[in-house]
Chains A and B, each alone.
Chain A
Amino acid sequence: GEDVEQSLFLSVREGDSSVINCTYTDSSSTYLYWYKQEPGAGLQLLTYIFSNMDMKQDQRLTVLLNKKDKHLSLRIADTQTGDSAIYFCAESGGYNFNKFYFGSGTKLNVKP
């Protein structure tokens, strides 16, 4: 499968911004995604970005894509304790938009 990598942990204080980074290898990916997984729960789609875009903003979330470096980031503004979860980046498998290759997940811990 494709290689998608993330740092494992991030700890921030409530109210600060969080930035979660991801690198990927498949340059043919059409879409790149960020999913959130809370303890014991399934996956929740947060946002996605089309591969010909550099940036996408959705309320507190900002996604930056550097296609040349194959680098994706998710910025969460004004991080809240409810944002504590594991965040996965994922790329769709080239021609098959719905087949995902996930990163290792970044566990975000938000301290009050």
Chain B
Amino acid sequence: GAVVSQHPSWVICKSGTSVKIECRSLDFQATTMFWYRQFPKQSLMLMATSNEGSKATYEQGVEKDKFLINHASLTLSTLTVTSAHPEDSSFYICSAPGGETEAFFGQGTRLTVV
């Protein structure tokens, strides 16, 4: 089946630095991808919709300047957490549409900011 790959799987960074997370659709093209955030022992929260060739659409309460999204090609979306702080530590997951009834999820990226 279709595969969505995220890189890195985990990352530890210092407070104040920026971290880039990549989401790739490996065997199909995705004009839209979605970014989610999962806090420990909590649900996945939709952060934004990444649109190839145009600006991302952010959910209410998500800081667009903090979480920069770039959909550079039909197979790649990136999420950059800028000036990361410990409260940004979380599990970030991307997904790409797989037709009308399904989305393909990446394996997730665990970000720890120290």
* A→B interface (CB under 8 Å): 1, 4, 31, 41-43, 45, 48, 88, 93, 96-105
Whether B97 lies near A88 (C-beta < 8 A) is no
6 smallest beta-carbon distances between A and B, as pairs:
A98-B97, A42-B107, A43-B105, A104-B43, A102-B44, A102-B43
Apart from A98-B95, A102-B45, A102-B46, list 20 A-B contacts with CB within 8 A.
Answer: A1-B45, A1-B46, A1-B60, A4-B43, A31-B101, A42-B106, A43-B44, A43-B93, A45-B103, A48-B101, A96-B49, A97-B97, A98-B32, A98-B102, A99-B46, A99-B49, A100-B36, A102-B44, A103-B43, A105-B42
A27 and B52 CA atoms in complex are apart in Å by: 29
Q: Does B67 contact A (CB under 8 A)?
A: no
Across the interface, A105 reaches (CB within 8 A) one of B43, B95, B96, B107, namely B43
Nearest chain A CB to B41's CB is how many angstroms away?
Answer: 8
Taken residue by residue from 73 to 95, chain B's Cβ proximity to chain A (1 for < 8 Å, 0 otherwise) reads as 00000000000000000000101
Q: Are B103 and A100 in contact (CB under 8 A)?
A: yes
Given contacts A1-B60, A43-B93, contact A100 B101 (CB under 8 A): no
Tell me the minimal C-beta distance from B26 to chain A in angstroms: 14
Task: Identify the closest chain A residue to B30 (Cβ).
Answer: A98
Dominant secondary structure of chain B at its interface with chain A:
strand
CB within 8 Å: A-B pair count: 56
Assess whether B63 is interfacial by the CB under 8 Å rule: no
Q: Kindly list chain B residues whose C-beta atoms are within 8 Å of the C-beta of A103.
A: 43
Which of these, A42, A48, A98, contacts B34 with CB under 8 Å? A98
A45 to B34, CA, bound (A): 16
In the docked arrangement, what's the CA distance between A102 and B45, Å?
Answer: 7
A98 to B18, CA, bound (A): 29
Find out whether the CB atom of A48 lies under 8 angstroms from the CB atom of B43.
no
B101 pairs with A42, CB closer than 8 A:
no
Q: Does B100 touch A at the CB level, under 8 Å? A: yes
Q: How far is the CA of A101 from the CA of B36 in the complex (A)?
A: 10
Given the known inter-chain contacts A97-B100, A100-B34, please indicate yes or no for A42 contacting B43, CB distance below 8 A: no
